[in-house]
Amino acid sequence: MEGAPVLRQLISNLLATYPLSPRWRWALLAVFVAHWALGAALGLSVDEAHYALYAAHPALSYFDHPPLVGWVQWPLVALNAPTAVLRLLPGLLWLLTMLLVYLLALRLGTGDAAQRARGGVGALLVLLLAPLLHILGIGLLPDTLLMVLSVALMLQTLRMMEMDAEQVRRPAPWLMLGLLLGLAGLSKYTAIFTALAVALCLLWAHGLSLLRSGWLWIACLLALLLISPVLIWNAQHQWISFVYQLRHGAGGGWRLLEETRFLLVQLLSYGALLWFGLPGVSLVAPGKRCLLAFFVLPFALLALMAGGGSSLPHWTAPAWVALAPFAGIALAARPRRGAGVRLLAGLQWLACLALPALLLSAGMPWMEGKVASAQSSDPPNPFADLHGWDAAGARALELARQHGLDSVAVQNWTLASRIGWYARPLKVRVLEDRFDQFDLWAGKLPVGGSALLVDWSQLPYQTPLGAHGFAQCQTLERLDVQRFGFALAHFDFYACSGWSGQAQPMLKPAAGATP
Which residue from 463, 457, 442 is spatially nearest to 488, judged by alpha carbons?
457
Query: Is residue 377 in some structural domain?
Result: no
Query: Is residue 510 in some structural domain?
Result: no
Going by the DSSP 8-state scheme, the letter that residue 507 receives in this structure is B
Query: Is residue 502 in some structural domain?
Result: no
Look at residue 323 in the predicted model and tell me its pLDDT. 97
- Check whether residue 352 and residue 397 sit in a common domain: no
Task: State phi, psi for 307 to the nearest 5 degrees.
Answer: -60, -25
- Check whether residue 335 and residue 397 sit in a common domain: no
Look at residue 15 in the predicted model and tell me its pLDDT. 55
**248 close to 206: Cβ distance less than 8 angstroms:** no
Query: Is residue 268 in some structural domain?
Result: yes
Residue-number span of the structural domain to which 192 is assigned: 4-358
Is residue 160 classed as helix, strand or coil in its secondary structure?
A: helix
- Check whether residue 311 and residue 449 sit in a common domain: no
Is residue 48 classed as helix, strand or coil in its secondary structure?
A: helix
- Give the CA dihedral 124, 347, 358, 303, nearest 10 degrees: -70
Write the secondary structure of 260-296 as one string of H (helix), E (strand) and C (coil). Answer: HHHHHHHHHHHCCHHHHHHHHHHHCCHHHHHHHHHHH
Query: Is residue 513 in some structural domain?
Result: no
Look at residue 291 in the predicted model and tell me its pLDDT. 97
- Check whether residue 352 and residue 491 sit in a common domain: no
Helices 113-128, 88-108: inter-axial angle, 10-degree rounding: 150
Task: State phi, psi for 188 to the nearest 5 degrees.
Answer: -160, 145
- Check whether residue 258 and residue 404 sit in a common domain: no
In the chain, how many domains are there? 2
Query: Is residue 304 in some structural domain?
Result: yes
Look at residue 471 in the predicted model and tell me its pLDDT. 96
Q: What is the mean pLDDT of each run of 10 residues along the chain (515 residues)?
A: 56 61 89 95 94 96 96 96 95 95 93 88 95 95 97 96 90 96 96 96 93 94 97 95 78 76 92 93 94 96 80 92 96 79 90 90 71 51 89 96 96 93 95 91 94 94 94 96 87 96 84 48
- Check whether residue 240 and residue 287 sit in a common domain: yes
**442 close to 428: Cβ distance less than 8 angstroms:** yes
- Check whether residue 324 and residue 443 sit in a common domain: no
pTM reported for the whole predicted model: 0.91
Task: State phi, psi for 421 to the nearest 5 degrees.
Answer: -70, -45
- Check whether residue 327 and residue 440 sit in a common domain: no
Write the secondary structure of 64-107 as one string of H (helix), E (strand) and C (coil). Answer: CCCCHHHHCCHHHHHCCCCHHHHCHHHHHHHHHHHHHHHHHHHH
